[in-house]
């Protein structure tokens, strides 16, 4: 059920940073500054209203054909955005840069998400759907995602693990990140949880942490099979696995696939052998 169309009259809403934003309801020209939120807009049936996206917005593929690319997540092309005349811009506190957001806020309604847990992601989905006039679709999607995660049964105790996001220098996802929340739901205990959000680590730190599982993400650094050996030299006893980074870090509609993926990780690559 769609919310009533109030012919562009402003709707004042609050974003996840507590900022109040006046948006013409429902917005007709949306610029998305975050890949996972771009995909969400399309999956909510709002693709025809997405006017601008970033160069990293790869899902769905048709988005790059129908919307204007306005730069990256941390380097906006303000002239392109101005030409689009957006009546709503959707961004994220972490993925976008403060100076750029402040510049956009001076001219347009900018709604920001702030997400480090699954409940916050579900809240974002419902709020974005509400703002765009698709409240019921958003609630249905959140319900579907909630049910899928409820089916997960994490092993006890959780498996000590390290989740790599970068190489040269090595960087991992750690505390207060969405990835860290996903790791715990997938059955892992982050061995670097106490070091901050995305710390650099040395080979010595990795060896001392002694994770049983090392997860090499497909993004932002494209880890591949050729990188497994160098990590195996540091932690010979660890099981090293290439994982789909989108299913650990994208906090929009792609979450509908995450729980099933985590279940496959448990089924196809047992976290502990039966003798453990």
Q: Which residue blocks in 77-173 are alpha helix, DSSP H?
A: 78-84, 98-105, 118-131, 135-150
- In angstroms, the CA 128 to CA 125 distance is 5
Q: What is the pLDDT of residues 46-85, one digit of tens each?
A: 999 999 999 999 999 999 999 999 999 999 999 999 999 9
For residue 176, the model assigns a pLDDT of 93
Q: Which string of b and e fits 67-78 if b means at least 16 CB within 10 Å?
A: beebbbbeebbe
pLDDT interval class at 154 (50, 70, 90): confident
Strand partners, 241: 215
Q: What is the pLDDT of residues 236-253, one digit of tens each?
A: 999 999 999 999 999 999
Q: What angle do CA 227, 221, 16 make, to 5 degrees?
A: 145
Assigned superfamily of 10-148: Nitrogenase molybdenum iron protein domain (3.40.50.1980)
Q: What is the pLDDT of residues 192-216, one digit of tens each?
A: 998 989 999 999 999 999 999 999 9
Q: Which string of b and e fits 176-206 if b means at least 16 CB within 10 Å?
A: ebbbbbbbbbbbbbbbbbebeebbebeeebb
pLDDT interval class at 7 (50, 70, 90): low
For residue 274, the model assigns a pLDDT of 29
Pick the CATH number of 159-268 from 3.40.50.1980, 3.40.718.10, 3.50.50.60, 3.30.930.10: 3.40.50.1980
Strand partners, 217: 243
- In angstroms, the CA 239 to CA 161 distance is 9
Of 54, 64, 107, nearest to 82 by C-alpha is 107
For residue 109, the model assigns a pLDDT of 97
Of 184, 268, 254, nearest to 219 by C-alpha is 254
Rg (CA), the chain: 20
Angle (deg, nearest 10), helices 118-131 and 135-150 = 160
Within 10 A of 163 (CB to CB), how many other CB atoms are there?
Answer: 28
Q: What pTM was estimated for this model as a whole?
A: 0.92
CATH 3.40.50.1980 location in the chain: 10-148, 159-268
Measured over the CA atoms of residue 168, residue 97, residue 119 and residue 196, the dihedral's sign is positive
> What H or E segment, with its residue span, contains residue 64?
helix 63-66
- In angstroms, the CA 192 to CA 185 distance is 16
Structure tokens at 166: 């970068």
């Amino acid at each position: 059920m769609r919310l009533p169309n109030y012919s562009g009259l402003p709707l004042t809403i609050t974003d996840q940073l507590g900022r109040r934003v006046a948006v013409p309801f429902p917005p007709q020209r949306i610029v998305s500054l975050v890949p996972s939120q771009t995909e969400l807009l399309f999956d909510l049936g709002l693709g025809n209203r997405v006017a601008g996206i970033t160069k990293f917005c790869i899902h769905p593929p048709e988005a790059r054909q129908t919307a204007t690319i306005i730069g990256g997540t941390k380097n906006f092309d303000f002239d392109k955005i101005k030409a689009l005349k957006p009546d709503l811009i959707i961004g994220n506190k972490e993925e976008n840069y403060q100076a750029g957001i402040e510049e956009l806020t001076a001219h347009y309604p900018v709604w920001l998400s702030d997400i480090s847990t699954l409940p916050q992601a579900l809240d974002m989905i419902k709020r974005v759907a509400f703002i765009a006039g698709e409240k019921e679709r958003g609630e249905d999607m959140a319900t579907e995602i909630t049910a899928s995660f409820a089916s997960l049964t994490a092993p006890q105790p959780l498996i000590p693990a390290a989740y790599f996001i970068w190489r040269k220098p090595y960087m991992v996802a750690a505390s207060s990140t969405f990835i860290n929340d996903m790791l715990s739901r997938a059955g892992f205990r982050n061995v670097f949880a106490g070091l901050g959000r995305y710390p650099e680590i040395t080979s010595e730190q990795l060896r001392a942490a002694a994770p049983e599982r090392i997860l090499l993400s497909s993004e932002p650094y494209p880890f591949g099979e050729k990188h497994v050996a160098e990590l195996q030299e540091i932690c010979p006893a660890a099981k090293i696995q290439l994982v789909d980074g989108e299913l650990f870090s994208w906090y929009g509609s792609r979450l509908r696939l995450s729980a099933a993926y985590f279940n496959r990780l448990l089924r196809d690559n047992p976290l502990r052998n039966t003798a453990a």
